[in-house]
Amino acid sequence: MLVWERPEPQERPAPVPLSRERIVRAAIRLADADGLDAVSLRKVATELDVRPMRLYSYIDSKDELLDLMVDAAYAEIRPTGDTWREVLRSLAESTRHTVHEHEWFADLLGGRPQLGPHALACGESVVAALDGVGLDAVMPAVGAVNAYVIGAVRREIAGQRAERATGMDEKRWQAELGPYLRRQFATGRFPALSTVVRDAAHLDADETFRIGLECLLDGIEARISR
């Protein structure tokens, strides 16, 4: 059959150049905009103008995509400082800062072991800065700070979301959830709790985080210099 009679091979969209980096960036865009639930392989593929299964040439499963996202976030964590204390504080603040820019990071933190190159590099720079500290004290110290940070930012983000869910601003939050707590407290079943909530100073998120962190660092200091 002559060329003229043969139909053209079906017109294919020009193959979009792809890479793990492009995929991860697309996924992060989606997650930043609409939360982790908005990240589906189909949506990521659409974002890249590609068919979904194409992604499986670059990753084996969605979990691996999430791992890549997490490692990309670790690339933004840059602990600095001259003393071990400054470095650990910086690690904590920097992680928290990254979570504020990528809320989904809080959902993933601590969910799987973080062994990507950027996570390792982050650990390396922290550990390197702790070389004045006794060898056996390094991991417990770093581990404790990381644990604290993970828990603290998760709760902070959870709180933010709850506020947002009840109506976007703090006034509505107090109007929706405040009454629930007030009713609970009114039952008299939580006297100590209600006293504290009513009478204690209400710290903002920055202070709360910082106080807990400094406590932990104080404790670490005591243990190190012992």
Partner DNA sequence: TATGAGTCGATACACTGTATCGCCTCGATG
Partner DNA sequence: CATCGAGGCGATACAGTGTATCGACTCATA
Interaction site with a copy of itself (CB under 8 A): 107, 109-113, 115, 117, 120-121, 123-124, 127-128, 130-131, 135-136, 138-141, 143-144, 146-152, 154-155, 158-159, 161-162, 177, 180-181, 184, 189-193, 195-196, 199-201, 203, 208, 211-212, 214-220, 222-223
- Is 16 or 193 the residue whose CB approaches a copy of itself more closely? 193
**Residue 158, C-beta contacts closer than 8 angstroms, at least 6 positions apart:** none
Q: Tell me whether residue 56 or residue 139 sits nearer to DNA (CB atom).
A: 56
Rounded-to-integer distance, Cα 55 and Cα 187, Å: 55
Beta-carbon count within 10 A of 167 CB: 12
List interacting residues with DNA (CB under 7 A). 9, 15, 39-43, 51-54, 56-57, 61-63
**Of residues 18 and 181, the one with the C-beta less far from a copy of itself:** 181
Pick what 54 binds: DNA, a copy of itself, none; C-beta below 5 to 8 Å, kind-dependent: DNA
Residue 191, classed as helix, strand or coil, is helix
**Amino acid type, 87:** V
Residue 22's binding partner among DNA, a copy of itself, none (Cβ under 5 to 8 angstroms by kind) is none
Half-sphere exposure of 104 (CA within 13 A, CB side): 21
Pick between residue 81 and residue 212 the one whose CB is nearest to a copy of itself. Answer: 212
Burial of 95 (0-12, 13-18, 19+ CB in 10 A): buried
CB of 52 to DNA, least distance (A): 5
Phi, psi of 98 (to 5 degrees): -65, -40
H helix or E strand, kind and range, residue 164:
helix 135-167
Cα–Cα distance for residue pair 196/185, rounded to 1 Å? 11
By beta-carbon proximity to a copy of itself, the closer residue of 29 and 210 is 210
Which does residue 179 bind out of DNA, a copy of itself, none, counting CB within 5 to 8 angstroms by kind?
none
- Per DSSP, the three-state class of 1 is coil
Tell the smallest beta-carbon distance from residue 37 to DNA (Å).
8
Closest contact distance (angstroms) between CB of 93 and a copy of itself is 15
